[in-house]
């Protein structure tokens, strides 16, 4: 079943700057979709356009058949979409629990949801009183995703979640992403570690110069000789 559909999206950061030059993207309920490609391809811009952080100049974006292109981020969030940016995605001086409270600040049931998050992420429960700045890089990314889950999204957008992490921390993070998805949350993930992204995704989009280049089942793209040579480093 279609959850999100983006069609011919044109967007950029100024009126004369079209980073996206007509991108299409679809995401079904409960699936993981990887968005990969070279630097400057428009991957992060696409997530920001979907989340409402930049307004597309053309194109359509539907979330469960509801038009969301150009709407305010808070309105899009209420419709069931949460976005986790690559950087500045937690409040370092606040405790782990306080970060989660901010994630659910508009929800009267936030306390119960925090306890549910602690059950899902025991590491966060153990460090609930610790300042978020004391967490490792991987733990901070998990906290950022946990904050997003406080709004109970149907779709979670992740922008470069493993950037800067050690291989071991990245592996644990990808396991966490799989676990979140198994809980019923669809995920669209822009990821620099393309090989790992294709391993956990069901489908994938490769963007080049603001346009769709290759789309298909992730396993098929991972096995394609030309895709491996050009985009996966061999």
207 pLDDT higher than 70:
yes
Tens-place pLDDT, residues 14-57: 877 899 999 999 999 999 999 999 988 999 999 999 999 999 99
The answer on pLDDT for 104 being more than 80 is no
What is the model's pLDDT at position 1? 63
Please report which confidence band the pLDDT of residue 108 belongs to, taking 50, 70 and 90 as the band edges: low
pLDDT at 226: 87
What six digits make up the tokens of 19?
């980073």
Strands (E), the chain: 2-11, 20-28, 32-36, 58-63, 66-67, 81-84, 155-159, 186-190, 203-208, 211-217
Rounded Cα distance, 198 and 220, in Å: 9
Return the CATH class of domain 2-80+153-231: alpha beta
pLDDT on residue 141: 94
Whether residue 86 has pLDDT greater than 80:
yes
- Predicted confidence band at 107 (pLDDT cuts at 50, 70, 90)? low
Distance CA 118, CA 123 (A): 8
pLDDT tens column, 188-197:
999 988 999 9
Domain limits of the chain?
2-80+153-231, 89-152
Sorting pLDDT into bands at 50, 70 and 90, what band is 81?
very high
pLDDT surpasses 70 at 234? no
């Amino acid at each position: 079943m279609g959850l999100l559909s983006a069609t011919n999206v044109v967007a950029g950061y100024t009126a004369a700057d079209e980073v996206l030059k007509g991108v299409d993207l679809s995401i079904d309920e409960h699936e993981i979709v990887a968005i990969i490609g070279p630097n400057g391809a428009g991957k992060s811009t696409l997530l920001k356009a979907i989340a409402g952080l930049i307004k597309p100049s053309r194109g359509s974006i539907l979330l469960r058949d509801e038009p969301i292109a150009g709407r305010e981020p808070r309105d899009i969030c209420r419709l069931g979409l949460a976005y986790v940016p690559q950087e500045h995605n937690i409040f370092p001086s606040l405790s782990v629990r306080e970060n989660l409270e901010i994630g659910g600040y508009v929800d009267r049931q936030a306390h119960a949801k925090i306890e549910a998050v602690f059950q899902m992420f025991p590491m966060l429960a153990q460090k609930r009183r610790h300042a978020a700045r004391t967490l490792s890089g991987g733990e901070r990314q998990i906290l950022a995703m946990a904050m997003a889950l406080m709004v109970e999204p149907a779709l979670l957008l992740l922008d470069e979640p493993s950037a800067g992490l050690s291989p071991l921390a990245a592996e644990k993070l990808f396991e966490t992403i799989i676990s979140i998805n198994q809980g019923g949350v669809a995920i669209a993930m822009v990821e620099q570690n393309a090989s790992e992204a294709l391993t956990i995704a069901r489908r994938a989009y490769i963007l080049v110069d603001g346009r769709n280049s290759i789309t298909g089942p992730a396993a098929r793209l991972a096995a394609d000789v030309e895709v491996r040579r050009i985009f996966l480093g061999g």
